[in-house]
Amino acid sequence: MNTVEDTAVTPPPLAPAGLSMAIIGAGPAGLALALQAAQALPQARITVFDARPADKDVSGDPRALALSLGSVQELERMGVWTAIQARQQVAPILAVHVSQQQPTVLWPGRDQPFVAISAAEQGVAQLGAVVSYGTLVAPMQAAWAQAIARQPDRLLMRFGTPVKGLKPVPGGVEVDAEIAESFDLAVVAEGGVFADQPTLKWPQGVSHDYAQTAWVGQVLLGEDSEAGVAYERFTPSGPAALLPLADGTVVPGGPSGRRAALVWCVQRNDDPVRDLTDAQRLVVLNTIFHERVGKIHQVSSLKAFPLGLNAHRSLVNDGAVVRIGNAAQTLHPVAGQGLNLGLRDVHELLSALKGASVGGRVDVAAALRHFQRRRQPDRWALIAGTDFLARSFTWPAPVLATVRGLGLGAMQALGPLKHRLARTMMFGLR
């Protein structure tokens, strides 16, 4: 008679992992990479590190994030977009309107020049969407926890574990996070905002303080204002933007209605916002935006953030460390494309890793060479474009207004050029 020991079947050993990956940072870019890598690289072992404690609730973080259509599609492919929409805090971007406050002296038309791009004319349901940080990250974090529960042998989350350093070792990289662990690949996705970033710790990089401040908050629009429109307005002090939000209140106890997220950029040494009361800020806001916005009825308290550029020339270092998202480039918000650039980093990195997979193993060096080559044109085009616009506010006002106004008018008049701009906004440079 066989004993229990005799009849027990020894489970087969796990298939050798094709890749061991450390992802540093559980923000949108880091979680997007983790979720998609778990699907695209079924043999990979993936560990996500984040300094925040596991019990910290991020769902209420109100910071507004603008998602391009391409980013929305990435979230759909991850399987999290339905959960994000279920929070009923998603506002579609149906149109974008760009104009400037200063008159264009040489403009021949009766109305001042502008650029208007709509989803309808581009043949899409929406150009993108606006969500809060918490609305985006909380469902992504929940989806990652569910993935870990299904496959705990290869997926891991380490909250409350700041990474203190990375060191190249033969065949990979050593991650110092309380204990030293070796991985085939480390992806740094923890960037933060410009003010929180120290001097670039990379062989080469570009860093510039724009000496500008972004005042960020929310405004309440009139019920007759057009829904789903994002406005960009160039003013003598800097760009100001309104991004559509789901209906709600902007001040405690205030009326509920049509809201927009406000990003108001001004020169730091000549700040027209800092010393004003909320009531005075409301009066000024009603003078700077295009008449199409309608009346702004209420403004929330505003928070200030210094603005600057940090960009690493190379995305790959020591053969096994790569940076994505804000860890690779922190941009001026004038184009609202920072997160979208990071999600395109994720897409291209996964494509490169899958393409370099042979027989269940991944040639990391070859994948990262391909990733760097593919990502540089898109990221540097956007870096250069936002840097040009940010620096342009130091030009003499008449020159700036004329050049920019003529450019807006030409863009609106030339259909193919406007279509190209719209496609770049939605999907990046391809």
Full residue range of the structural domain in which residue 32 is found: 20-208+307-427
Higher-pLDDT residue of 221, 337: 221
Q: Does residue 336 sit within a domain?
A: yes
Q: Which of 138-152, 192-206, 390-404 has the highest mean pLDDT?
A: 138-152
Instruction: State the average pLDDT for the chain.
Output: 89
195 pLDDT band, cuts 50/70/90, is low
Question: For residue 129, what pLDDT is reported?
Answer: 97
Question: For residue 17, what pLDDT is reported?
Answer: 46
Whole-number Å distance between alpha carbons of 382 and 376: 10
pLDDT in tens, 369-417: 999 999 999 999 999 988 888 877 666 567 777 888 888 888 899 889 8
Question: For residue 192, what pLDDT is reported?
Answer: 75
Q: Does residue 218 sit within a domain?
A: no
pLDDT in tens, 329-367: 999 898 788 899 999 999 999 999 999 987 778 899 999
202 pLDDT band, cuts 50/70/90, is low
Question: For residue 144, what pLDDT is reported?
Answer: 97
Q: Does residue 97 sit within a domain?
A: yes
Question: For residue 141, what pLDDT is reported?
Answer: 96
Q: Does residue 87 sit within a domain?
A: yes
Q: What is the CATH number of the domain that holds 198?
A: 3.50.50.60
Instruction: Say yes or no to pLDDT of 8 above 80.
Output: no
**How many structural domains comprise the chain?**
1
Instruction: Say yes or no to pLDDT of 15 above 50.
Output: no
Q: Does residue 383 sit within a domain?
A: yes
Q: Does residue 337 sit within a domain?
A: yes
Instruction: Say yes or no to pLDDT of 16 above 90.
Output: no
Taking the model in full, what pTM does it have? 0.91
Q: Does residue 247 sit within a domain?
A: no
Is there a contact between 349 and 328 (Cβ–Cβ < 8 Å)?
no
Question: For residue 108, what pLDDT is reported?
Answer: 80
Q: Does residue 323 sit within a domain?
A: yes
199 pLDDT band, cuts 50/70/90, is low
Question: For residue 161, what pLDDT is reported?
Answer: 95
Whole-number Å distance between alpha carbons of 118 and 353: 36
